[in-house]
């Protein structure tokens, strides 16, 4: 099977290792990965800040870059939600097909490939934070947990108030810094209390906020994208 990787602008620029990990997992499962170089940002930061009119070129760019693929895979629930839920509203019928062929990584693994054990090894206690767009827009349900439960050596720790937003919210984090920081501090405290050595999610934007807050609090807990855990093997720990 051949898929196109939509790496997202945040991962491309700030967390390329998540993109590399996604490639590693998919290739290990026998999938051929393409990376259309014309890809850029899905436009979500513009839409959610009120600049709906600025999303047009980015939506068109996405449709051009990925239009020819049957499966488009992205390691970001938030960007997948933007493409699937908002593109048809922004660009109408022309976007509906590509939107429905765009999958968040855990959806692709569990639903399309039908795999939960990807042969990963990650010998650490991990707390999983279900990010809002994965949980409530895409409806990922227990897919990420099922994947994590199959990782050898991994011990899943319960996170109190797991389904509550971390307070990132894109430009919310700078437009409403006090509330964002208060929410982030509560999330970081819950992560620390879970006794995990890593906090895991399917969105690096949320992890930048949670990880940045943990680091400022002097915590040793590492933010790790789920793809990096799935890419880890006994031979190569990410």
Partner 1 sequence: MKTQLGMPAFPEAAGRSTRDLRLRANLRHATGLIRERRAAAVAELADWERLRAAAAAVKDRTLRHLDHYLLRLEERVTAAGGTVHWAADAEEANRIVTGLVRATGEREVVKVKSMATQEIGLNEALARAGIRAYETDLAELIVQLADDTPSHLLVPAVHRNRGEIRDIFRERMGHWGRPAPKGLGDRPAELAEAARLHLREKFLRAKVAVSGANFMVAETGTLVVVESEGNGRMCLTLPETLISVVGIEKTVPTWQDLEIYLQLLPRSSTAERMNPYTSLWTGTTEGDGPRHFHLVLLDNGRTDTLADQVGRQALRCIRCSACLNVCPVYERAGGHAYGSPYPGPIGAILTPQLRGLASPLEESLPFASTLCGACYEVCPVAIDIPEVLLHLRARVAEGGEATLRGTRTVIRPARRHTLERTVMDAAAWALDRPGVLRRGQRLAARTRRLHPRRLPGPGRAWTESRELPEVPPESFRDWWARTRGGGR
What does the binding site for partner 1 look like in residue numbers (CB under 8 A)? 7, 9, 11-17, 19-20, 34-41, 45-54, 57-58, 61, 132-133, 135-137, 163-165, 167-185, 208-209, 211-213, 215-216
Give me the least distance between CB of 137 and partner 1, in Å please. 6
Please, what is the minimum distance in Å from the beta carbon of residue 170 to partner 1?
8
Nearer to partner 1, 34 or 234 (CB): 34
Minimal distance in Å, beta carbon 117 to partner 1?
A: 26
Size of the chain, expressed as the number of residues it contains? 238
Pairing verdict, β 2-5 and 125-128: unpaired
Comparison of 4 and 118: residue with beta carbon closer to partner 1 = 4
CA distance linking residue 23 with residue 139, whole number of Å? 24
Report the run of H or E that residue 13 belongs to, with start and end: helix 9-14
* Residue with Cβ nearer partner 1 (31 or 135): 135
Shortest CA distance to 33 belongs to which of 75, 4, 71? 4
Rounded CA-CA distance 113/190 in Å is 33
State in angstroms the smallest separation of the CB of 128 from partner 1: 17
Which helix (H) or strand (E) segment is 33 a member of?
strand 32-34
Nearer to partner 1, 46 or 103 (CB): 46
- For the record, the structure tokens of 104 come out as 């968040």
Minimum CB separation of residue 111 from partner 1 in Å reads 21
The smaller minimum CB distance to partner 1, of residues 188 and 194, is found at 188
132's CB contacts (< 8 A; 6+ apart) are 165
């Amino acid at each position: 099977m051949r898929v196109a990787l939509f790496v997202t602008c945040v991962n491309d620029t700030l967390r390329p290792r998540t993109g590399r990990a996604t490639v590693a997992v998919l290739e290990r499962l026998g999938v051929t990965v393409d990376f259309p170089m014309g890809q850029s940002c899905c436009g979500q930061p513009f839409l959610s800040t009120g600049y709906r009119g600025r999303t047009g070129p980015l939506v068109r760019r996405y449709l051009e870059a990925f239009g020819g693929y049957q499966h488009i895979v992205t390691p970001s629930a938030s960007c997948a939600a933007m493409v699937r839920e908002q593109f048809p509203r922004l660009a109408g019928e022309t976007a509906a097909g590509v939107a429905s062929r765009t999958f968040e990584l855990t959806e692709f693994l569990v639903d399309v490939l039908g795999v939960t054990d990807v042969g990963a090894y990650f010998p650490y206690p991990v707390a999983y934070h279900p990010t809002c767009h994965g949980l409530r827009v895409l409806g990922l349900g227990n897919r990420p947990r099922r994947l994590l439960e199959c990782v050898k050596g991994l011990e899943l720790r319960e996170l109190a108030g797991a389904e509550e937003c971390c307070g990132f919210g894109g430009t919310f984090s700078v437009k409403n810094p006090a509330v964002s920081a208060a929410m982030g501090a509560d999330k970081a405290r819950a992560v620390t209390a879970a006794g995990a050595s890593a906090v895991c999610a399917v969105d690096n934007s949320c992890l930048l906020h949670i990880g940045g807050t943990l680091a400022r609090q002097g915590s040793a807990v590492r933010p790790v994208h789920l793809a990096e855990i799935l890419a880890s093997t006994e031979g190569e720990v990410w």
